[in-house]
Structure 1
Amino acid sequence: MKPQYLVLAIAYLAAFAAPTPAAAEEQQTPVSQCQAIAQNIPKATFASFSGTAPLTPAVSEDEDVKFTFLGHSTFEIETPGGIIIATDYNGWYRPATTPDVVTMNKAHTTHFTLTPDPGIKHVLHGWSDVPGGKADIDLVVGDAYIRNVPTDIRFSYGLGGSQENGNSIFIFEIAGLCIGHLGHLHYELTDTHYIEIGRLDIVMVPVDGGLTMGADSMSRVIKRLRSSLILPMHRRGPPVDAFVSMFGKDFDIAYATDDSITVSMRTLPKKPLIYVLQGVR
């Protein structure tokens, strides 16, 4: 083969063998900063990463994460980079702006929709459509890294039995914060679950008192997670005070006059705070 043709052949092969910058970026596996400390630590209880001041607006917009309670189990999460996430999205409670990402769980139709707005780029199911399978979310969207921890659910409407890995706890790692949405949690978490979850600075927790878990069981989960900021949701029936009453002096409690709160790593409360947003109580 002539030298010039040999050079062209090598270049041709290299063009197909070498990944493009976009492909190389897609091949990179995200690394969880929240889960790293949890590896191989049985029965771990994670300390909260508290700031040096009470809950106040952050000074820098580059680190603010905004939470807005839209209804039931749906929160709008807005990242510093402008990514909009809606949790347990059912199509009824919608952010003012079409979200970039929605998460869903299927315990009840109030936690998912099979006909989401086609403008939503990432629709994340907390269940698998493959029999015996489980959802495996490992996704970076803008400045948010999103993953899931599958959990079992009871069958609805008194049918009895349970479905393994039927739903998910969704975890959002944004601006250094570890944020968890417990979804429609039906059973207390196992040691393996806690290790898979890792640290949660902020957790959104159902407080219905029975449709998910009783207040005492749910309070045990929250006490072990030891998050800095606890945002109640999914209140059906009993007042949120029934859940709040399960906590002692190690937790502060506050009732907001607004439906939203802005948080950063530096402005997390020093002491675990149960913060009841407007519309939950």
Structure 2
Amino acid sequence: MASPVMAQEQAAPSRCLAIAQTLPHVTFASFMPSSSTPVSPTQASPTQASPAPASFIPAQAGAKDEVRITYAGHSTYVVETPGGVRIATDYNGAYGSDPLPDVVTMNKAHRTHYTETPDPGIAHVLRGWNPDGGPASHALGIGDVYVRNVPTDIRTWGGDLERDANSIFIFEVAGLCIGHLGHLHIRLADAHYAAIGRLDVVMVPIDGGMTLSLDGMSEIAGRLSSSIILPMHRHSTPIGAFTGRIGAGFAVEFRDSPSLTVSLRTLPRQRTIIVLKGV
């Protein structure tokens, strides 16, 4: 069973946006839910700042504020927060299901990025598209993490553009801004970057096929000023094809573990591509 954690879905100010817009004059803070009663998700534009939530407290980058990130397979990373919330990205049921996550995010470009039959024990299933039409809109506070999304378009197999069918999911926890690009097909516009803000850690697809080209992913990783880049959705693409195009100034680390722990205090000074075991 998923762990019992408090949750609410509502608009909340993004610490990642505050950092992106006001560095270096910023107080690090993170959203903390103050009620166990869910409320309806906001339908505000993802590029607009959200109103103040019920509770908003400074983030303390202490020794216990480490976030654990594990590569589970394909485009699924499992994010475990200091407070014990477990999140699985682009969840299709094959990876990251043991133990069962509290939150899963999905995208619909291919069946390998979602499931129509998620385990009923998963407390929060966040789809990156809106089955009723229009953009998906998520602003979820659960335990010590705030989850939001920025919708993007995708290309169909026939090459047509499908509006708002993918979401970039952003997890704000322990003072960190962690982003998962999903099955991204298009170059991001200025409005997307404004809605995302800053990402300390970003998970990027690098297959270079249906997803955005390697050059496009390199541009995104650089523009977001991320400290850690985690490749995913690799297929047969040589890692060197990605690392060779991302540009100078990036270190590359290969880990012999599928997991890493990260905190504000341990972010690398040099932008670093970390290739976890299994990628």
So what's the TM-score if we normalise by structure 1?
A: 0.80
Alpha-carbon spacing, 1:137–1:96, altered in 2? closer, same or farther (3 Å): same
Segments of structure 1 that go 5 or more residues without pairing to the other structure are 1-24, 50-58
Aligned equivalents of 1:127 and 1:136: distance in 2? 9
So what's the TM-score if we normalise by structure 2?
A: 0.81
Larger Rg: 1
Q: Residue by residue, what CA displacement relative to the aligned partner does 1:218-247 show, whole Å, maximum 9, x if unpaired?
A: 111111112000000000122121111013
What residue number does 1:113 align with?
115
Alpha-carbon spacing, 1:27–1:248, altered in 2? closer, same or farther (3 Å): closer
| Cα displacement (A) at 1:29 | 4.0
Residues 9 and 140, structure 2, Cα contact 8 Å, conserved in 1: no
Aligned equivalents of 1:95 and 1:274: distance in 2? 26
Q: Residue by residue, what CA displacement relative to the aligned partner does 1:99-147 show, whole Å, maximum 9, x if unpaired?
A: 000000000000000100110000000001123x110000101001000
Residues 70 and 95, structure 1, Cα contact 8 Å, conserved in 2: no
What residue number does 1:135 align with?
136
Aligned equivalents of 1:248 and 1:29: distance in 2? 37
| Cα displacement (A) at 1:38 | 4.5
What residue number does 2:243 align with?
244
Pairing 1:150–2:132 present: no
Q: How many residues were matched structurally?
A: 238
What is the Cα-based RMSD across aligned positions, in Å? 2.1
2:114 maps to a residue whose letter is: F
Aligned equivalents of 1:119 and 1:97: distance in 2? 11
Segments of structure 2 that go 5 or more residues without pairing to the other structure are 1-6, 27-60
Residues 254 and 275, structure 2, Cα contact 8 Å, conserved in 1: yes
Structure 1 segment 12-91 matched on structure 2, within 5 A = 29-38=11-20, 62-91=64-93
Residues 85 and 99, structure 1, Cα contact 8 Å, conserved in 2: yes
Aligned equivalents of 1:165 and 1:248: distance in 2? 30
Percent of matched pairs sharing the same residue: 55
Aligned equivalents of 1:232 and 1:226: distance in 2? 16
Alpha-carbon spacing, 1:28–1:234, altered in 2? closer, same or farther (3 Å): closer
Pairing 1:195–2:194 present: yes
Residues 8 and 141, structure 2, Cα contact 8 Å, conserved in 1: no
| Cα displacement (A) at 1:96 | 2.4
Aligned equivalents of 2:110 and 2:204: distance in 1? 16
More helix by share: 1
Residues 204 and 231, structure 1, Cα contact 8 Å, conserved in 2: yes
Q: Residue by residue, what CA displacement relative to the aligned partner does 1:186-219 show, whole Å, maximum 9, x if unpaired?
A: 0010000000000100000001022201111111
Query: Secondary structure of the residue that 1:34 maps to in structure 2?
Result: helix
Aligned equivalents of 2:10 and 2:170: distance in 1? 19
Alpha-carbon spacing, 1:94–1:229, altered in 2? closer, same or farther (3 Å): same
